[in-house]
Chains A and B, each alone.
Chain A
Amino acid sequence: MKIHIASLALAFFVFPVISAGMAGDTLSLYHIDEVTVVQPRVRFFQEDRKVTEADSLALSLFYDDDLGNLLRYISPAYINVRGGNGSASGLTLRGTNSYQTTVKWNGFTLNSLTLGSADLSIIPVESMESVAVVHGSSGTVSGSGSFGGSVELRNKPDWDNSLSINATSGYGSFSSKRASVSARAGNKKIQYHLNFFRVNALNDFSYTDVMKPGNPEETIVHNSLENTGIIQNLFVRLSHNQNIEAGLWYQSKTKEIPAIMGSYTTGNAVQRDSVIRGYVNWSLLMERSRLTLSSSVMDEYMFYRVKQPDDETEYSVNSSIRGRKFMNEFDYRLYLSNMITLDAGASYNNMEADVESYNGTVSEYQSALFSGLRLNYKGIVSNITLRKEFHPEISIPLLFSAGVRYAPQGKEYVFRMSYSDQFRLPTFNDKYWRPGGNPSLLPESGQTIDGGMEFSRTVTDDLHLKGEAGLYHSRIRNMIQWVPAGSYWAPRNSKEVHINGAELSLSSTYSIRDYRLRFDGSYSYSMPSIRDTYEEETGLEGNMPEYVPAHSGSGRLSLLNDKGHAAVSFNYTGSRYTTRDNNPLYKMPPFALINLHLGYSIELQQDLETSLQFRIMNLFDRKYQVVRAYPMPGRSLQASLIVRFSR
């Protein structure tokens, strides 16, 4: 009965929006800026949230790196990585797990439908024009699994571009080689983006094996990486009010899995992740409204093989996972006036996976209705969004989010506050993996209350300061965690987890003649604790979940001009418990990493420029582990030559 009432309430909100918009096409055009019109839903209705955006300098410093490393140094995110370059890495935001943060490419979720998380190590920074993190994104806007937040990756056309080509060749420590070509071509009506990249690395770094007698220096073996990908985007202006956008992304990563610390054998496991993603997005701009239709497909294939030590032709483990996801979305936005915007839409997703451990193919669908109201009046932006998810087996209540952002006129500060409902459906692995999978697993649900203040001040003509401070409180019920259960692992609902946290960020730019000195820093405090448990977990109340640092921070100090840059980036990750009983003996110590970046550009001729970039990662050769028993590389050097042609 509750579901019917909720659906009726949503329908009551959705259909007037559409009918009002259709009726309004004959009305006069309001002056709405283009940024507002094209702004994606996840940003348009979340101005009341904290957003960390990678600026052009950050994208340049990590141009030839992966998304995990970029986020580690531009945000206080904790990147959970099991080893060096190319090892699977997940994003932990606001004290949650990596599968509680969504990663979206031009609006389409990249998270694996079998694992739930997105592997940041296979996402190249150079392929994206925009990278932003929406902290604690609401479930009404981002859908399932946004407790920590959502990472928004975007490709954007430059309609003034006719031809630009970047060719990059890079060499680095541990026999790493990287080559990429990035091309942008087109005119005012059509733009085409192509990005091809290939990365090879032996990853044969040395480390101190603290698990062996005498703590010997060892060189890691069976750790090579091959990563190849091609990403294409097409942007077409069909007419003065119609755009179509399409993208295609193919990638294949093969990674040897090394033995953990303390082992006296080399690893003999290999994992390959291949994925094809594609999307089409059509939008129609009417006099005071916008209609968007989108479809996307994701086809992922992964195999994991372990060879017998004494027989290279036999596998003791040979498992594969194939997953497909089809996503369709319709969104209608009505700019009723300069002050009022209404939005309504629907989505339908179909998913299937063929996994040996599921014993065949499993499939399911999800659909949703969503709507939003945005008010903008004298510096006050207020959002209300609703979402109703429909799932064949699980009942999900109507989700509600609301927030306000207040920028007093003539003042240098902004206040924001929001409330949001969030949820996460169990993944296919959570439900169907044999042994351990549990089809009766409950979905996670929860709320986040978030508030903060931003300021932006031009102190002098040369000095600009910008900062932000915020607090949040989240509750997650039925949090899903995989825990060992006898001879295998199984997912379990932890009854309730509370997370209290604070986030700080500060940016400053100081100009000295032709140079700019910049400082960007961010800090996060997050304290998740298990508040209530099921009977068999009694005794865990008050404990923190594993691998969540209470303190983390990052920053960059940069000196740059038109020709080049010198920068230091750093990351601090606090101590993390590794066991559910929070045994201090197995607590991972904190670590701080500092990197040096140098870049210089030379204009060879009017259209041609070359740029040389050096990066020393882990400058002080810090020995550390992110995940217990998985060694991380010490100091490493990466040198890249980039040739840019533009016309």
Chain B
Amino acid sequence: MTKKTYLSLVLLSFTLVFISCEKDDAGPSLGGYAGGIIITNEGAFGNSNSSISHYSPDSNKVTNNLFEMVNGRNPGDVLHSFGFEGDMGVIVVNNSQKIEVVDPETFESAGTITGFSYPRYFKGLGNGTGYVSNGSLAGEIYLVDLNIMEVTDTIGVGMGPEQMARSGNYVFVANSGGWDFDNTVSVININTHEVEKSIEVGDIPVQAVTDANGDIWVLCRGKVVYDDTWTTIVEETDSRLVRIDGTTHEVVTDIVIGETGDYFNPSYLSVCPDGLELYFGESDGLYVMGIDENQQPASPLIEKDFTAVITDPGTGYIMGVTLTDYSSAGKLHIYSANGTETGSFNVGIGPNGLYSFY
């Protein structure tokens, strides 16, 4: 072997390092997304692999990774929820401490609002404004103005505020306690942005919806306290559905759901499009309950452990999402009104919310 041959071989080996890089895959094409169901997928904590999926009842197709496909970046870490204000959509990204404002028809980003520590939900108030619940311990509601993309006011509420529901000029905030404990609902006057009342409900209220009568239904998960070994439950309180009169702001109905000892903390509550039925999950599946009933139905409509459920106002189909794990795609399941499954689709990692958009 000559010196030239040797040097050439060394240089060739070295050059291979520079040219052996793999090419990235090209992304799919864009499309319009008016009409259908928006699915939020929170992704795995610390991995920034959340996403938005969209189901079109017309074409019976799911489009995944909408936000990233359109904007060229991931929505962020732990996409917690979605909300609407006028013709804008608001994506609440918990562990990125931000909300992303988008055009829900195209999912193009219109702006980002920051300044949060632990954002959870958005509730539109009109005129391009809305509330963002925030806080893992001490809680606050931030008033945000989507026209100028800024936080304009802060309202102190209970601990760990979660979902909000509106009735008239009042917003009802479920104070879950966050990493601690709470059992109240704060009532905010949206004209003054002040808390006018704190209502005691069940333990750990997390979800709130408004029914056809303008009353507020609050899902209280109930408290489960483990001993230091995390193997033995030393205290468990009932899970509850609590109805608050939208006018008097008094508790008018308090229904125990599930059973003490089932060790199950329900996590979702939704209301059907006409506001006359509630959907909630218990240990044995999805229950459907009329708003005038005062006890949990005897059996579930669908025996599956969903993380969120909605009724599509266009088709009347019931849709639910299930979690595989936080490292694989979850699933969207579609059912006829009587609970017969008609199809299922892969969605993003960790689906946690369903929102109708027509």
Contact = CB atoms under 8 A, between A and B. Distances in A.
Contact of B98 (A261, A264, A551): A264
Given A316-B137, A519-B13, A264 B116 contact: yes
Given A434-B230, A508-B10, A570 B17 contact: yes
Interface stretch (A103-111, A234-242, A574-582, A602-610): A574-582
Given A359-B229, A592-B17, A213 B77 contact: no
Interface stretch (B20-28, B185-193, B203-211, B312-320): B20-28
Interface string B70-86: 01011011000000000
A157 interface: no
A585 B9 CA distance: 37
B47 interface: yes
Interface string A567-598: 01010101100111101111001101010000
A7 B105 CA distance: 70
Contact of A460 (B1, B20, B47): B1
A262 B227 CA distance: 36
A40 interface: no
A353 B339 CA distance: 50
Given A263-B96, A434-B230, A484-B325, A213 B22 contact: no
B49 A485 contact: no
Interface SS of B by simple majority:
loop
Interface string B113-129: 01111000000000000
A517 interface: yes
Interface in A478-532: 483-486, 506, 508, 510, 512, 517, 519, 521
Given A579-B349, A581-B329, A508 B46 contact: no
Interface string B227-243: 11111000000000000
A459 B96 contact: no
B354 to A, nearest CB: 19
A585 B3 CA distance: 47
A521 B13 contact: yes
Contact of B48 (A261, A483, A517): A261
A215 to B, nearest CB: 7
B10 A586 contact: no
Given A263-B96, A484-B44, A581-B329, A359 B228 contact: yes
- Central interface residue in A264, A539, A553, by most chain B CB within 10 Å: A264
A557 interface: yes
Given A435-B230, A460-B1, A579-B328, A555 B47 contact: no
Interface residues of A, number: 57
B239 to A, nearest CB: 16
Contacts of A553: 17
Contact of A211 (B73, B325, B329, B349): B73
A508 B6 contact: yes
A16 interface: no
B97 A265 contact: yes
A87 to B, nearest CB: 14
Looking at chain A's contact residues, the main secondary structure is loop
A585 B26 CA distance: 10
Nearest to A577: B327
Contacts of A309: 117
Nearest to A589: B24
Given A211-B74, A510-B6, A592-B21, A260 B327 contact: no
Nearest to B10: A519
Contacts of B323: 486
A583 B44 CA distance: 13
Contact of A629 (B7, B9, B48, B230): B48
A212 B96 CA distance: 10
Interface of A: 210-213, 215, 260-265, 308-309, 316, 359, 434-435, 459-460, 463, 483-486, 506, 508, 510, 512, 517, 519, 521, 539-540, 546, 551, 553, 555, 557, 568, 570, 572, 574-575, 578-581, 583-586, 589-590, 592, 594, 628-629
24 contacts: A210-B73, A213-B73, A262-B77, A263-B95, A263-B97, A264-B97, A264-B98, A264-B115, A309-B117, A359-B227, A359-B230, A460-B1, A484-B45, A484-B350, A510-B6, A539-B328, A568-B14, A581-B329, A584-B25, A585-B68, A586-B47, A589-B22, A629-B46, A629-B48
Given A211-B77, A519-B10, A583-B49, 4 more contacts: A210-B73, A506-B13, A512-B3, A539-B328
